Structure 1
């Protein structure tokens, strides 16, 4: 494998670990490296399919803890907004897509790092804004996590319920987005790396410090987003 391919596989493993341990983080970590390696038009569909697997594996264990009401409240605007965003962004230049994806990740990382909390996000309108924002970012760069992470941070759910709800949301969202954008099969090293990362995250999640895990996810996401943004210059 080339250097970018090796970096992408490593990012997939780390992203799957973060996803299993925290409920989010796969696309934030894996998408910049994958898109930088193969380009936005192939990278985004690849990220989406891998993200489905990254959510499915831990959800197969924790699905009983999913809060269906929270999941549905976020999925409604996301599913409605995804085909609209895909249509509006279909003719955008590849370099612009890469730059927009990187900037979207950086903005999300900055908000999450500051621990943004808002009473607005607890209202129905907050769920709609979060869902629509996630739909747009997922179409642009396969990175729909930041708006949903902000919403989840305000919900105050127990950790296991929060993780299961996030897994369920991202699973359905990424299946829907892949149905709109198409599917690109990932390489077997990427799938193997995902399986190892997810299994490790599932095994170690009860022992991990939430603060340490969250800080690591944000740091790696920031570096990856900067690299992706640089490809558009």
Structure 2
């Protein structure tokens, strides 16, 4: 059973890295549920945020020049302010509730992203604050801070290269801050190999696979992963 869950975790890391390098998001959505199931809530989240940081590092070298610092900062400020406060508030929380909470966050976030819902207020300053704060909460609880930021990006109408550049910039900083808040867990060699292979494949596939197609697959697998995390943790 443990070997099977470990293989599932490695698959999540592999395909998460493919999605992250090709689209700018998706690593935590795919990898976090399986890593939390394999390593437990605290260790799984800590490992996820370290791997998530690494998953954006190499793609950032390719897409970082397209990032818009002002728009990235608009999201980062509330995220960085909320992350340590949320981590402190949750420090005494029974960890048995963290896994299903993370799974529920994934399911809700994926459903919102997939529905195509558009809210005008997300284009306003309070929309960036809400997205950044919600991302901080989900990242601390389950290492899955992507859905609120993805929803914001969908409303921003950024060009594909700008989207990837902004998302990689945001997630590198956010995941570093989250790692400092929840603790740093070094991934094993097998996780690092899966990450490297996935990143290389994603960067090769990025110009060839339509982003919409890959994003649809990411959302579908993420939904199943979130449901499995809730069911496996309760």
User: What's the TM-score once normalised by structure 2's chain length?
Assistant: 0.98
Q: CA deviation at 1:89?
A: 1.1
In 2, Cα distance between the equivalents of 1:8 and 1:232?
15
* Preserved CA contact (<8 Å) 1:17 1:201: yes
Residue 36 (structure 2) aligns with: 35
In 2, Cα distance between the equivalents of 1:98 and 1:36?
8
Q: After superposition, what is the alpha-carbon deviation per residue over 1:142-188, rounded to whole angstroms, capped at 9, x for unaligned?
A: 00000000000000011011111000000000000101111011111
In 1, Cα distance between the equivalents of 2:59 and 2:225?
24
In 2, Cα distance between the equivalents of 1:201 and 1:140?
27
Q: Runs (4+) of structure 1 moved beyond 3 Å?
A: none
1:118 aligns with 2:129: no
Write out aligned runs for 1:47-196 (5 A): 47-196=48-197
In 1, Cα distance between the equivalents of 2:144 and 2:76?
15
Residue 10 (structure 2) aligns with: 9
* Preserved CA contact (<8 Å) 1:95 1:231: no
Residue 23 (structure 2) aligns with: 22
Q: CA deviation at 1:117?
A: 1.2
In 1, Cα distance between the equivalents of 2:24 and 2:118?
19
C-alpha RMSD of matched pairs (Å): 0.9
In 2, Cα distance between the equivalents of 1:28 and 1:177?
16
Q: After superposition, what is the alpha-carbon deviation per residue over 1:36-57, rounded to whole angstroms, capped at 9, x for unaligned?
A: 0010110000000000000111
Q: CA deviation at 1:231?
A: 2.3
In 2, Cα distance between the equivalents of 1:187 and 1:226?
26
User: What's the TM-score once normalised by structure 1's chain length?
Assistant: 0.98
In 2, Cα distance between the equivalents of 1:93 and 1:102?
16
In 1, Cα distance between the equivalents of 2:167 and 2:101?
24
Question: Secondary structure of the residue that 2:25 maps to in structure 1?
Answer: coil
Q: After superposition, what is the alpha-carbon deviation per residue over 1:44-74, rounded to whole angstroms, capped at 9, x for unaligned?
A: 0000000000011100122111111111000
Q: After superposition, what is the alpha-carbon deviation per residue over 1:169-227, rounded to whole angstroms, capped at 9, x for unaligned?
A: 00000000101111011111111111110111111111111221111000110111111
- Structure 2 unmatched runs, 5+: none
